[in-house]
Structure 1
Amino acid sequence: MKPVKPRYSLGFFLPHALRWLVTGSLLVLLGIGVYIGIRFYHVDNQLYLWWASMRPSQTAKAPQSGSLPLQTYWMEIDSRVVAGIDRNLSGLAFNTDTKQLIAVINRPATLLTMDLEGRILHRHKLRHASDVEGVAYLGNNRIALAEEGRGRIVIAQLPKSATADLDLQDATSFALDLGSSKEMTRDNAGFEGLGYDQNHDQLYVAKEHSPRALYRIGGLGDYLKTGHFTMRIENLDHWLEDNDIGTDLSSVDVNVLNGHLLLLSDESQRIVELNQDGAVVNQVELRSMPGSNDGVPQAEGLALGPDGTLYMISEPNLFYRLRPAPLTR
């Protein structure tokens, strides 16, 4: 007797096809979720930080001579709401002439003057500005602004009136090629911080991520004095690659007393101090700082006062003040 060949009906194939369709759809959705998580929310960085926190702790390097005593700092003001701001508080700088703070809101583009308690003193609308994320004080009532959306640095004079707008249409500006402005705007990966060293006439520019980047620009002082603008641009990315800086760069400032650089990482919740050669001389974890409840979520701006006080802001509207602990006798 010849063997009877099995007969397969449409009802037999349908469950198998449906299973493959469901499996394929789930894999596609998983791939999309992984892409979005890495591209826009940097889940890979967060997993790395979690993995690093689970590893056996290593002995931290001792602070080097001339560095700030970051290990003695405490959170004197923790997450104070800045009255009058609902969202988008961004870059921060210390005005060494008025002993006040300068901050920016990226949308709507606004320049703020604040006291050292985090209260708004003056508010200036920034006209012809796009997505302003960083600010640095250059001295003599001049500032530099970082426009993330357009990928440019703008030099402007502070308004003389307490209520006047600041029009940037005809202000001196220059651009750095950090990728397409469309990509930087979409991924929030462009200019994120500015810091100026008045003693050495050096402007530091930090790019947040994808990838992180750090530049040093000389020649601004010559322009402010003579009107002739000759830039000297250095790429300092090797400083980031050679050191455990953090997974992103939210802000940068300079200690004018010795030219040391302070880098703020939001994702890593860390302040790292570099000397003029780019070597780490000190660092501190914000989550472990005395007086801090939960670090500084979405840290955006860092400014160093001449007495060593650190001021910070975070989105949407929070203010922080960090001081060295008083010496005990």
Structure 2
Amino acid sequence: MSSLTLHPDKLRHPFKRAYKRFRKPLRCALIACAALLVAHQTNIDDIAYRQLAEYITPAELKDRSIWLNQYHIDGQPILLDNITEISGLTWSSDTQTLFAVANDPPRVVEFKPDGQILRIIPLKGFHDVEAITWIGNDTFLVADERRQDVGQVVIKADTQTLDRADSPIVTIGIGAGRNKGFEGLAWHPESQSIFVAKERDPLTIYRIKGFISESRNNLEVSQDEGLNKAVARDNQDLSGLHLDSRSGNLLVLSDQSSLLSEITMDGDIISSIDLGWLPGTGITQAEGVAMDDKGDIYIVEEPNRLYRLTKKK
């Protein structure tokens, strides 16, 4: 029986011809993959989106909204001396200062916009405070993540400590005891209601009416389907809230998504900013957001960094 013998060089010829034929498309594909990788690493897609949104959005909408597309980090991050485990953040128009909550041990920290610490107020009886919001007249709301409750406290110029036993408390308690509870608070003065952000599992924003009243007998806890759909669209979790009284829109902060979004009460996403894209290393563990009377935005990053974002002029 005869046998057929092929020389190894002849076996390689078809592959050489195939390589020559597809060499150009292969190079184009490799270049495209590299470009996508660079875009992912440098957030070129986010830059392009922001530029497009800036171009096509009517000036009227920009004027009546917060319009995050025009914000940038002002200066370097500020280290808050001797503070760790910082979380929720709020601005007080009474004192023109910022208030944050921190744990280990639970406490409220008051500081100036430049990061100068003014005082530290121990929180007696509180366990895992993760959010704070100012509602006026030296009055604040604080949220306990694991207990999933909200307490009302008064912080005056001479306040040295705050006791849970002296505070009105409202408990929602859905999945209480888990470390995926309340992470954000926002106050809506017109409706006298509180927006409460549950971190995830499920990611939800609750609305509480009737808590800021003398009787508190007619508490109403609800969820807005449109708002929660919008919040869940781009966010893996929730880590902070702020309600802008001028536009009526919510600032929604996500730590895991490195995202700050502006969302209307009807669930329309107006603008957003990718915090990981910001110059430097970006903001990697955002835990609280607030806005002052001038419109400057402040974000705290765990363990103790403060960022200020201002609008480009």
Please indicate the TM-score interval, normalised by the length of the shorter structure. 0.7 to 0.9
Pairing of 1:6-155 with structure 2 (within 5 A): 53=40, 57=45, 59=49, 61=53, 64-65=61-62, 66-85=64-83, 87-155=84-152
Q: Report the identity percentage.
A: 28
The structural deviation recorded for 1:307 is 1.4
Match of 1:192 in 2: 183
Question: Which ranges of structure 2 fall in alignment gaps of 5 or more residues?
Answer: 1-36
- The letter for the 2-side match of 1:215 is Y
Give 1:233's match in structure 2, choosing from 221, 225, 239. 221
Q: Contact (CA 8 Å) 2:87, 2:102: kept in 1 or not?
A: yes
CA separation in 1, counterparts of 2:236 and 2:183? Answer: 14
- The letter for the 2-side match of 1:84 is N
Q: Contact (CA 8 Å) 1:139, 1:198: kept in 2 or not?
A: no
Q: Contact (CA 8 Å) 2:131, 2:144: kept in 1 or not?
A: yes
- The letter for the 2-side match of 1:278 is G
Match of 1:246 in 2: 235
Give the 3-state SS of the residue equivalent to 1:74 in structure 2: strand
Give 1:297's match in structure 2, choosing from 276, 284, 287. 284
Match of 1:278 in 2: 267
Q: TM-score, normalised by structure 1?
A: 0.74
Give 2:198's match in structure 1, choosing from 184, 192, 207. 207
Change (3 A) 1:160 1:281: same
The structural deviation recorded for 1:202 is 2.1
Give the 3-state SS of the residue equivalent to 1:240 in structure 2: helix
Give 2:168's match in structure 1, choosing from 165, 172, 175. 172
Q: Contact (CA 8 Å) 1:92, 1:303: kept in 2 or not?
A: yes
Post-superposition, which runs of at least 4 consecutive aligned residues in structure 1 deviate over 6 A?
Answer: none
The structural deviation recorded for 1:272 is 0.6
Give the 3-state SS of the residue equivalent to 1:78 in structure 2: coil
Q: Deviations over 1:101-132 (max 9, x none)?
A: 11111220001111111221011100011110
CA separation in 2, counterparts of 1:217 and 1:84? Answer: 35
Change (3 A) 1:125 1:56: closer
Change (3 A) 1:269 1:78: farther
RMSD: 2.3
The structural deviation recorded for 1:217 is 1.4
Change (3 A) 1:79 1:56: closer
Answer with 59-68 or 75-84: which moved more. 59-68
- The letter for the 2-side match of 1:209 is R
- The letter for the 2-side match of 1:124 is I
CA separation in 2, counterparts of 1:319 and 1:240? Answer: 28
Q: Does 2:216 match 1:216?
A: no
Q: Contact (CA 8 Å) 1:274, 1:280: kept in 2 or not?
A: yes
Q: Does 2:279 match 1:287?
A: no
CA separation in 2, counterparts of 1:300 and 1:111? Answer: 15
Q: Does 2:297 match 1:306?
A: no
Give 1:322's match in structure 2, choosing from 303, 309, 312. 309
Question: Which ranges of structure 1 fall in alignment gaps of 5 or more residues?
Answer: 1-49
The structural deviation recorded for 1:242 is 4.0
Give the total of aligned pairs.
264
CA separation in 2, counterparts of 1:171 and 1:305? Answer: 26
The structural deviation recorded for 1:229 is 4.4
Give the 3-state SS of the residue equivalent to 1:307 in structure 2: coil
Q: Deviations over 1:175-200 (max 9, x none)?
A: 1132131xx1xxx3110011112233
CA separation in 2, counterparts of 1:248 and 1:53? Answer: 21
Give 1:269's match in structure 2, choosing from 258, 263, 270. 258
Q: Contact (CA 8 Å) 1:287, 1:293: kept in 2 or not?
A: no
Q: Deviations over 1:116-168 (max 9, x none)?
A: 11221011100011110000111111110000121111111114415x11111
- The letter for the 1-side match of 2:205 is L
Answer with 311-320 or 274-283: which moved more. 274-283
CA separation in 2, counterparts of 1:191 and 1:174? Answer: 13
Q: TM-score, normalised by structure 2?
A: 0.78
Q: Contact (CA 8 Å) 1:159, 1:165: kept in 2 or not?
A: no
